[in-house]
A and B are shown apart, each in its own frame.
Chain A
């Protein structure tokens, strides 16, 4: 399943499928990006980050892709599990932004067993 971020804030996938969550960021000067997972009633939890000198980074079951040309970030989750159900936020920071970590709108991922 795939989301388009701002325009489709919810994504529903079947357990075991791969998920793709998209994020369009606004500031071309941003050079560091983070994906956070936020479960109901909890604070955001770091998943994976990427710097602007990279276009891909992999973690355990997750991959982040960065396309600076179109200012687009995506998070791929392999073999999605019920425990992956949460809201996913991308966040951006730039060296000229005085330390601000700015969040995107978020996508709610729902995994059906």
Chain B
């Protein structure tokens, strides 16, 4: 199983809503990532978790709050988002953050903030 599963696939939310994106992998990977991708642009790193601890926060606004409940799950909690936060949110995992092995990506959650 080399799959990273993200739910939901699509999400529309208002600026006052609270929602969560979910990501799951069962490859035994110890590093998990959140990326944000705008149309026709490369994925931009937001957060890195290593062994369930936040190791990198790329100066992401606090309206995005990551959580790693266990080694297989990664959540991204959203609150008071802005329309410019509309994007494809990608989750990825790799064997470990400090080993040079490939990162596997999920299909993403297409988020629209209205």
Number of interface residues of A (CB under 8 A): 25
Q: Given A34-B103, A45-B105, A99-B98, answer yes or no on A104-B42 (Cβ-Cβ < 8 Å).
A: yes
Of the candidates A36, A43, A89, the one whose C-beta lies within 8 Å of that of B108 is A43
Q: How far is the CB of B45 from chain A (nearest CB, A)?
A: 6
How many angstroms from the CA of A31 to the CA of B98 in the assembled complex?
Answer: 11
Of the candidates B97, B102, B106, the one whose C-beta lies within 8 Å of that of A98 is B97
A98 touches B48 (CB 8 A): yes
In this assembly, does B76 line the interface, its C-beta being within 8 Å of a C-beta of chain A?
Answer: no
Write out the residue numbers on chain A whose beta carbons fall within 8 Å of the beta carbon of B81: none
In this assembly, does B104 line the interface, its C-beta being within 8 Å of a C-beta of chain A?
Answer: yes
Q: How far is the CB of B36 from chain A (nearest CB, A)?
A: 11
B100 touches A93 (CB 8 A): yes
Number of interface residues of B (CB under 8 A): 28
Of the candidates B6, B31, B44, B110, the one whose C-beta lies within 8 Å of that of A99 is B31
Write out the residue numbers on chain A whose beta carbons fall within 8 Å of the beta carbon of B41: 105-106
Q: Given A34-B103, A95-B98, A98-B55, answer yes or no on A44-B43 (Cβ-Cβ < 8 Å).
A: yes
A101 touches B105 (CB 8 A): no
Q: Mark B27-62, 1 if CB is under 8 A from A, else 0.
A: 000010100000011111100101000011000000
In this assembly, does B7 line the interface, its C-beta being within 8 Å of a C-beta of chain A?
Answer: no
Instruction: List 20 other contacts, CB 8 Å, given A43-B105, A44-B43, A106-B40.
Output: A34-B103, A41-B110, A43-B6, A43-B90, A46-B102, A49-B100, A98-B48, A98-B55, A98-B56, A99-B31, A99-B50, A99-B55, A99-B97, A99-B98, A100-B45, A101-B33, A102-B45, A105-B41, A105-B42, A106-B42
Chain B residues proximal to chain A, CB less than 8 Å: 4, 6, 31, 33, 40-45, 48, 50, 55-56, 90, 92, 94, 97-98, 100, 102-108, 110
Q: What 4 A-B pairs are tightest by C-beta distance, nearest first? A: A99-B97, A32-B100, A103-B42, A43-B105
